[in-house]
Each structure stands twice: as C-alpha cells, then as structure tokens.
Amino acid sequence: MKTTISFSSPAQLETESLVAVVLNETDPSQAEKHKDAKPQLKLATDDPAVQAATSDLLASGELSGKPFEINLLHKPAGLKAKRLLLVSGGSAKKFSSYELRRIAGAAVRAVKSRGIRSLAFISPSQVPAEEGAAAIVEGALIGNFDPDYYRSDRKDQKIDELTILIGGHTDKAAVEKAAKEAEIIGESQNFVRDLVNEPSNRMTPTILADRARKMCQEVGLKCEVYGPDKIKEMKMGAFWSVAQGSDEPPALIVMKYEPSGAPEKPVLGLVGKGITFDTGGISIKPADGMEKMKYDMAGGATMIGTMRAVALLKPKVKVIGIVCATENMPSGKAQKPGDVQIAMSGKSIEIINTDAEGRLVMADGLCYARQLGATHLVDAATLTGAVVVALGYAHAGVFANDDAIFERFHKANQQAGEKMWRLPLDEEYKDQIRSSIADIMNTGGRWGGAINAAMFLQEFAEDTPWIHLDIAGTAWMEEQKPWIAKGPSGIALRSLVEFVRSFAT
Ligand code: BES
Ligand code: MN
Ligand code: ZN
C-alpha cells in the first residue's frame, strides 16, 4: 500500500473514494430522555464542500451515529471524487487516535470489499495531524490484511493507494515522517499476522527460524539459530523437555539489534513463546478446537515482528529478541507427568501437566536473555486459557515484577492503543507452584491459572525488571470486526515497539 500525504482540499481531489468521518454529538443523557430524537451528527472536517454534500444525509435521521456505520454516496455534489464514504466514529467526545485507527481499518475493509483499490481519507481535525496520520496508516494496513491465502477463490481485494488529506497548517515533513514510521509498524504487525496464520505443517520451528533469518538479513540484524545439540549443550532442560517428544527439531532463534551510538545499557530482552503446535503432549488436549493451537507461536512471531520494526525505526537502544520454537507432541520420547527437569538456571521442575509447556520453554528463554546481558525483560506468550477466563478476548494480561517498568510499559501501551490489564503477582500465589520433590512444579491448580503461570516465569526473570504479556485471549480474533479480519491480530507489537522507543537516547 502506497501512502501519500496531501494538503489539497477534499473537494478538489480526484479519487475513487473520498472518506470522511461522522461524529455523534448527541448528549447521552438527552438521548436517554428523547428516544425518538434524531442523533446530532457532524462531519469531522470543516471543509464546506464536503459538508454541503452530506448535510441532507446527516440531517435525515436515517443514520444512527453508532461506530462503524457506513454510508456511500456516488457522484457527491460539488466534489471531484467518484464516491464519498461516510464512516461513523461514534461519540465526538470520546474520539481519539484509538477510534481513528479502527475507523480507518473499517473504511479500508468497506472500500476494498467493493473492489475499489484506492482511497483518500480526510484526517479528522479532532486528532493532531501527525498522530492522526499515524493512526490512519496503521489502521488502514491492519484492515487491508486478509488471511484467506489458501482459498482457491481468494479475491485478493486490497487497497493499493492511500491518500491522507490533512487540513490546516502543519509541517508536511513531520506528518510524512509519522506516516512512514506508522507504515513500518503496521507492516510489521501484518508480518506477525502472516506468521501466526500459517498452519503447523507450514510453520515448523525450522520454517519459523528461516523466516526470522530472512527478515534479519533484509533489515540488517544479526541472527543465530540453535538446534537440538546446542539447546542440550546449553543445558536448557526445560525447553528441551518439551522439544524431546517431537520429530520436528526445535529452534532457538536469537536476533540482535546493536545500533552504533547506543549506550552499553540498557539491553532489552524480548522473549517469545514459539510453540508451532500445542497438542498438550501426553496430557493431550481434547480434539475440539485443537486446530487453533497453530497460533501458539504468536508470542514468538510478535518478537520477530518487533525486531523487524525496531531495526527499521532505528532507535538508539540495544535489543535482543529470543524465540523458543518447538512443537509440543505426545510420542514415545515425550516427557511424562511426574518427570523432573532441570532448567538452564539450575532450578528443578516437577512436570505435573505436559500441556503447561509454554512456561517451560519460556523459563529457559528468559534465563538465556539474562545470560546475554538483558537488563530489562519483556515476554509475550499465548500462555494460559485462564487469562481468557479472567479477561476475555478484549484485554491481554500484563504482569510485572517491578512498578517502574510497569509504568513505562503502561505508557507505551496507552500510546499504542492496545488493551491490556495488569494482574497481580503477590507472594501468596507462590504456594500454588511449590513441589514436594522439586523446587517448583509447572502447574498451580485451577484457580488463578494465569497468575500461577506468571509466578512460574517470575522464578526465571529473577531480579531483572520484567513484563510478562499473556496474549492467549487476544492474539486471535474469534470473529471478524469492521476494522480487522478474523484470525491473527498481531496484538502487542505496537506496545512493544513504543516500549523499546521509550528507552532510546
Ligand atoms: N497454549 C496453551 C494456552 C491456551 C489454552 C490458549 C487454551 C488458548 C486456549 C497453553 O500451553 C496451555 O495449554 N495451558 C494450559 C495450562 C494448564 C495445563 C495449567 C491451560 O491453560 O489449559
Ligand atoms: Mn499447552
Ligand atoms: Zn501452549
């Protein structure tokens, strides 16, 4: 998708489709009292020609003003555009770049489903120009992605050209820079979605490592991939215990971004869960819904995508990306409940359930990141069904062993416009994972399952400031939304990129 920033007047622009945002100014308390009253709608642009072309429609009472409502006018009077698409942004009061990102995605999906390949989006005056352009580009790229690659009747409808119309007097170079950076972020997010979308026969640990290596070559990152021998040699007993049951060899993917001029410290360590298929192992999962477990490498894919974005955005801070990639399979070589494993850090782990494999591979990933000199850790993993019970599909779970790093992450997260919610890590929970024959066990019973898993990981982050993201409920869209297709979401990449940038000197 080619993006152009333009200062032309919307009325003068020749385009296949001009997009304007409609905002609802109705006072909610008034709406309650007068249920039959027409909603008070206004355009999010001062352009008189666009206002004139839409005034009758907005006053008609035919529009509800609810978010994502779409109306399409052909040959709009007084405009050079062939079509004018109105997308409702919902409440004018609440409207921010968060809503704008989604509205842009919805506009792209509405336009491309009609077979149109270009659109011009009028950036709403309610959001500052640079922030608005970035949100529109990110949202448009997210909306432009569809994962139905393997359908013979795939239409491959997509937008090739996006124009963003900026009103008022703004520094064009600054807006273009914001749009360019947003493009890197949006494309990296789609790169993650692409990886996660692949089924396990087409995304083995070896293939994931190859994709990471190829990406690293393209953007100039160092990349090393270690196989079974090196994993055993480094005494990654927790990681290997999961990998040992599979015929597919595991891969430890290590990507390094070391820009010249970056200070020695901090060194950020990003660790991702890369289970390319999770059958549960000997504690095998029920057949119902097991096919979804191809997405169990989403945390790992997120770290590969984040390294891509970081390499292209070039902040002056060192970052290491680590992905522990393996299948979790039952077999004659697979580990069994009751087995005791020694992790790389030396801690002994009693395996209670072989389906709690994510925390095992991550334990060694976190330990290795510290060994490579990481001063701050962030991990992302589709770790527990329990986080879905706690937070549903809306928020990812965030855990932190340190309030300062949480505050920093939280800020990045707000800026990125992703929904995440902090869950606790109190000492009390530690009892849940105490083992009678080893240091810890890999499950902690049914209650507080997402916390038990995080408590387990905390044992391996030790005293390094650390953020853990449980993205089991958010890495996969269970249904399509106006702004995004059903399937992999690419959650957490934007927050991670902002987090990394917050350290740049
Ligand atoms: N990959 C799963 C997490 C998961 C489960 C995501 C269900 C989405 C839906 C993870 O490896 C897992 O199996 N976790 C177990 C842990 C349990 C055995 C302690 C779970 O959540 O059921
Ligand atoms: Mn599992
Ligand atoms: Zn898993």
Using alpha carbons, select from 438, 305, 423 the residue that is nearest to residue 360. Answer: 438
- Closest ligand 1 atom to 280 CA: 13
Pocket test for ligand 1, best of 277, 355, 456 (most atoms within 8 A of CB): 355
Q: Which ligand is nearest to the CA of 274?
A: 3
pTM over 0.85: yes
Residues 307 and 221 sit within 8 Å (Cβ to Cβ): yes
Band (169; pLDDT cuts 50, 70, 90): confident
Angle at CA 91, nearest 5°, toward 87 and 97?
70
Instruction: Write out the two tokens for 487.
Output: 């399937």
Q: Whose CA is nearest to atom 22 of ligand 1?
A: 385
Residues 107 and 87 sit within 8 Å (Cβ to Cβ): yes
Contacts 24+ apart (CB under 8 A), 4-7: 4/161, 4/162, 4/163, 4/164, 5/133, 5/163, 5/164, 5/166, 5/172, 5/175, 5/176, 5/179, 6/120, 6/163, 6/164, 6/165, 6/166, 7/165, 7/166, 7/167, 7/170, 7/172
- Closest ligand 1 atom to 275 CA: 1
Instruction: Write out the two tokens for 471.
Output: 């993205």
The DSSP string of 87-113 is EEEEETTT--HHHHHHHHHHHHHHHHT
- For residue 19, report the distance from its CA to the centre of ligand 1, in Å: 42
What pLDDT does residue 57 have?
96
Q: Whose CA is nearest to atom 13 of ligand 1?
A: 355
pLDDT tens digits for range 7-56: 999 999 999 999 999 999 998 777 667 777 789 999 999 999 999 999 99
Which residues make Cβ contacts (< 8 Å) with residue 373, sequence separation at least 6? 267, 320
- Closest ligand 1 atom to 452 CA: 19
What pLDDT does residue 372 have?
98
Give the number of residues written for the chain. 505
What pLDDT does residue 457 have?
98
Residues 46 and 112 sit within 8 Å (Cβ to Cβ): no
Band (396; pLDDT cuts 50, 70, 90): very high
Neighbours of 430 (CB within 10 A): 16
Pocket test for ligand 1, best of 384, 455, 468 (most atoms within 8 A of CB): 384
- Residues 388 and 328: their CA atoms lie apart, in Å, by 21
What pLDDT does residue 28 have?
75
Band (156; pLDDT cuts 50, 70, 90): confident
Instruction: Write out the two tokens for 290.
Output: 């097991």
pLDDT tens digits for range 113-151: 999 999 999 999 999 999 999 999 999 999 999 999 999
- The mean per-residue pLDDT over the stretch 441-459 comes to 97
Judge residue 170's burial from the number of C-beta atoms within 10 Å of its C-beta, 0-12 exposed, 13-18 middle, 19 or more buried: middle
Using alpha carbons, select from 255, 481, 497 the residue that is nearest to residue 368. Answer: 255
Residues 321 and 307 sit within 8 Å (Cβ to Cβ): yes
- Residues 425 and 85: their CA atoms lie apart, in Å, by 48
- For residue 454, report the distance from its CA to the centre of ligand 3, in Å: 14
Q: Which residues line ligand 1 (CB under 6 A)?
A: 278, 296, 353, 355-358, 382-386, 443, 449, 472
pLDDT tens digits for range 417-444: 999 999 999 999 999 999 999 999 999 9
Q: How far is CA 458 from CA 5, 174, 385, in A?
A: 46, 41, 19
Which residues make Cβ contacts (< 8 Å) with residue 368, sequence separation at least 6? 234, 236, 252, 322, 344
